Each structure stands twice: as structure tokens, then as C-alpha cells.
Structure 1
Amino acid sequence: MLLLAIFNIVYATAHLLVIPVTYIHGFGFCFYSSSFMAGYKYIGYGSLLGYCSLFAQSTILLAYHFIYRYACICKPNWLALIHTKRVIGLLSVAYLSYFGLWVTLLDWFLVIFVCGWKMNEKLRSAEMCSARGYRLQKQLFQALMIQFIVPIILEYIPCTSIFLVPMLGEEINLEWATMCISLYPIFEPLAVIYFVKVGAA
């Protein structure tokens, strides 16, 4: 959760520094910076690339969070493996060796769905060690599901619109898409604040 919180701060800061704008004309679109960086060609271009890479990183971090919660709920013996440097190294190699963005994103979504389904089954069977532990795991699972739904609504649907609308050849104003993407780092942590009540008896 701390990693996601830090990531959201970095993502929001990157958005503030870049202030991305999408312009659609005919069958194409242009993504550019409207911040002070726009006046510096290479810095502006690099900052746009960095900002776009953060989009994919949010999905990877979310999938890793699902794997971690799955290990906590369903396979506690995996926790020792997750905390080793070897696993971090393997994740780094997988993370850096993109052979196709869509294939990678589909793999992460598959991980999210499988881990979410298994966690839900385990929580429904109520085989937890204590009532308090069960409640906490249930709250964390609910927060995680909201953390999954929020990016779909505020990131993936708007970004998909930005990519697909130019194929229609229509000039449609997609300012809403950029605004939705900028709201993601604000709403994502609210799920944790709302759902997880650690001191609840």
C-alpha cells in the first residue's frame, strides 16, 4: 500500500509537471504538454514519455498488489518468496522486457482476475484464523477491488477513447478523458481510506 501511495504522489506530480493535452483531428491524435516544459523540445518529449510509462506502471503495481494480497489470504507460505531479492529481480526483468504493451497488460489483468477470484473464494469460505483477521482481510480485499475499478473508469476507458475515436474520423472533444486521467491519483487512495478501518473491532 505504501508503494501505491508513493506511486500516486509521483503520478500526480508528473501530471502537474506535464499537463497533458490530447488533440484529435481526422484519423489521428496528438498528445502534447501544455506546461512550461512545452517550450523545451527534448525535455518536453522526455517528460511525455515518462508520463505515459507511468500509465503502464500503475497496472503492474496493481497486479503485484493482487499477488501479494492473494499470498496473504490464500498462500501464506508464498510470503517468504515474495520478500526475497530473487523475486524482485524476476519482476524487474519481466517489467523491463516488454515485448508488447497489450500482451503485457492482458497478462496483468489475467493475474488480477485469477487472484481476485481465488481470494474471494477463500474469504467466502471464512477459513481465517480470527474474526478480526477475517474482517481486516475482507476490508483490504474490498479496497483492492475498488483500486482495480477506479483505474478502469478513470484511466483505461479514457485512454481507450483517445486511441479509438480517431479511427472514426470524427473530431470529438476528449478533454474529459485527460481530466479523468488526472483524477485517478486522487480517487485511488480514497478506496483505502474508506474501506480499511484497522482499529474496527
Structure 2
Amino acid sequence: MYIHWSHHYLPKTFGILSFFFNPLFMWLILSEKKAAIGKYRYLLIGFAIFDMVYSSVELVVPVAIHGTGAAFVIYLVDGPFYGTGDLGQLAVSIRCGCIALSYGILVIHFVYRYFVLFNTNIIDMMLRPSGLVGLLIFFLCHGIAWSSVCELFLYGDKEVADYIYEPFQEAYNVDSHELSMLMALFFDASPEIKKRSWIGILILTGISTYAVSLYFSLGWKIMRKLADNPGVSKTTQKMHRQLFKALAVQTFIPIVISFSPCMMAWYGPVLGIDLGMWNNYLGVIALSAFPVLDPLAIIILLPNYRNKLLGIVKHPKKLIFTVTSSVNPNTDSSMATQVY
């Protein structure tokens, strides 16, 4: 199902770039001396792996978003699950769950950085095997909760397919009854559909709001701690300023490309704003950019990674030396808390 060249090609382009920048990011992490980031490297590598999984799901489950009248609809447009009915709907739910997973992994990022400054004992617990398992479960719960809400409350049915039939015929020349979709129909529907639509969207709004609020809350506390810490050296202060810049950008990214597009798509119909297929440009393309912008922001903002990459671009022979250089395996990993 072809909608527009930007919707067709840009998410695929971001998906391909994700498989370039994230392995590059992982290489930069692994080539760094252990004294620089310690065990935090394992979390960063986990973030990069997730970004590639996120991109893989996007490439396998391409979706489109449409708002018309009182309805919000996200539906499958292509891929191996297209035309598979309920299985395709489940694939869309899992695809949407990746949004919550991106929230969860950034929450872990912020929590880690918070305790680096406020309680390093908790950091030691987080980086033990049991702590990492706990972080994994916490992370997965975000995606499971989001996907479950989609399946239980936002599933498509004949009533909503009837509601959007004419707009979809006009805009895309497709039969809405044949699409695998998730939907929210807020007005002009049966009480049961209106009820579950509101419940589903409000729960998803709650998950999104909790995550973004936590970014701001922890970010503000971290900023205050960095500003009121006169006993540290100039070198550490410089590193903390770099940290603050990275935090600011990593707060900005999910708000602009995840939270805001979702809010517009969900509540546009409630407010009488008919965004139509513009949701695809404002939402689908923006959401697909997350796995690329996340590692790219860290590479650009952290001088060690940025300078190493620029040095290799200018002097390609350094790549051989960097790859073959050894690191000290006995370095105390706790030094990472002074950097990140």
C-alpha cells in the first residue's frame, strides 16, 4: 500500500542507517579504555542492540497513521504480515510496544545517571547480574504493557472499519475492512467502543506522561547536583558539563519524536483536528528516526567518541591501530561514575 514517497522511503532509510550508526557506536564503546566508562559500557551496548531491534521491527511491520472525524487509526501497509488479519493486528501492537520500550530504556539511562551522582552503591547493585536481569524485566514490562493495552482496548472491528470506510476509499482507494489495524473511536460510536477507546488511550497517555515526567524530574535533580558540587576538579566539572548536554538532548529526542507525535495523533480527533494522512509525516517518520538519533547524539556530544571518529575519518590508518590496541583489563570500573 503506497501512501507517499516520504512515508515509503524515509522510515526504511532510517532503519538502514540504524544498522550503520549503532554498530559504529558499539565499536566506539568497545574500543574505549575500561577506565573511561567501566561497566556502563554494557548498558550502552544494550541500548544500541535495542535500537537495531526497534529498526528491524519497523522494517518488518511498516505502519501508517490516519486521523479522520472522531477516529485515530494505525494500520499495517506492507510487509509479511500484511493481509493476515488478527496476526497482522498483533504485529501492529508489538510495533507500537516498541515506543514504550524506547521510553523504558531512556528511563534506565536517566536512573543510572541519577544514582551515579547520588548513590553509587545502587549503581553497583544495578550492574550485578541480578540487577541487570531486573533492569531487563523493567524494560520489557513497558513494551508488554503497551502492546497489551493495544490488544485489549484498541483492536479494530467492523464498526470502526465501517466508520473509516469512505475516508480510506477517498484517500487511499483501499477497503478498510481488509486492513489489520488498531483504532480509537471517541465519538459517533457504540458505548462499548467509546469506553474502551478512552480507557486504552488514557492508559497509554499515562505511560507516556510518567516516562517524560521522570526525564524532567531526574534531569532537573541532576542539573542541580552538577551546579552545586564545588568540591570536584575542573576535569570532572568539564565531564559533568558534557553529561548535562547529553542529558538535555536525550530528553529532547523522545519528547519531539515519540511523545509529541503520539499526543497529536491520539487527541487530534478529540479536539476536532483532522490531520488525515499528515499523521504519517508528523508521526510515522519521526518515530522511525529514534534508533538513529539516539546513538548519533551520544557520539556527537561526547568528545572522546566524536574526536576518535573524526580522527579516523581524517587518518584512516588510525583504524588499524585503534582496533589492535590493548586495554587494561584490571582497571577499576567504578571510575566510570566520574565520567557518566
When the two structures are superposed, what TM-score results if normalisation uses the length of structure 2? 0.52
Q: Offset at 1:18?
A: 1.2
CA distance in 2, matches of 1:16, 1:64: 26
Give the structure 1 partner of residue 4 of structure 2.
none
Is the partner of 1:31 in helix, strand or coil?
strand
Once the two structures are superposed, residues 151-190 of structure 1 have per-residue CA deviations (whole angstroms, 9 ceiling, x without a partner) of 1111111111111122216353322121111222222222
Is the partner of 1:170 in helix, strand or coil?
coil
Q: Offset at 1:192?
A: 0.3
Give the structure 2 partner of residue 58 of structure 1.
102
1:1-201 pair list within 5 angstroms: 1-36=44-79, 37-84=81-128, 85=130, 88-89=133-134, 92=137, 96=141, 98=145, 100-127=203-230, 129-167=232-270, 168=272, 170=274, 172=276, 173-176=278-281, 177-198=283-304
* Paired positions, count: 200
Change in CA separation of 1:134 and 1:74 when aligned onto 2, cut-off 3 Å = farther
Once the two structures are superposed, residues 78-103 of structure 1 have per-residue CA deviations (whole angstroms, 9 ceiling, x without a partner) of 21222241574387369638594433
Is the partner of 2:304 in helix, strand or coil?
coil
CA distance in 2, matches of 1:128, 1:44: 57
* Equivalent position amino acid for 2:250 in 1: Q
Q: Offset at 1:119?
A: 1.2
Change in CA separation of 1:87 and 1:114 when aligned onto 2, cut-off 3 Å = farther
Larger Rg: 2
* Equivalent position amino acid for 1:157 in 2: S
* Equivalent position amino acid for 1:6 in 2: I
CA distance in 1, matches of 2:59, 2:139: 29
Once the two structures are superposed, residues 39-89 of structure 1 have per-residue CA deviations (whole angstroms, 9 ceiling, x without a partner) of 222442222111111101111111111010111123222212222415743
When the two structures are superposed, what TM-score results if normalisation uses the length of structure 1? 0.84
Unaligned segments of structure 1, at least 5 residues: none
Is the partner of 2:101 in helix, strand or coil?
helix
Q: Offset at 1:194?
A: 0.9
CA distance in 1, matches of 2:103, 2:253: 11
CA distance in 2, matches of 1:164, 1:138: 37
Change in CA separation of 1:93 and 1:108 when aligned onto 2, cut-off 3 Å = same
**Once the two structures are aligned, what percentage of the paired residues are identical?**
25
CA distance in 2, matches of 1:144, 1:193: 13
> Superposition RMSD on alpha carbons, in Å?
2.7
Is the partner of 1:166 in helix, strand or coil?
coil
CA distance in 2, matches of 1:76, 1:89: 17
CA distance in 2, matches of 1:19, 1:101: 21
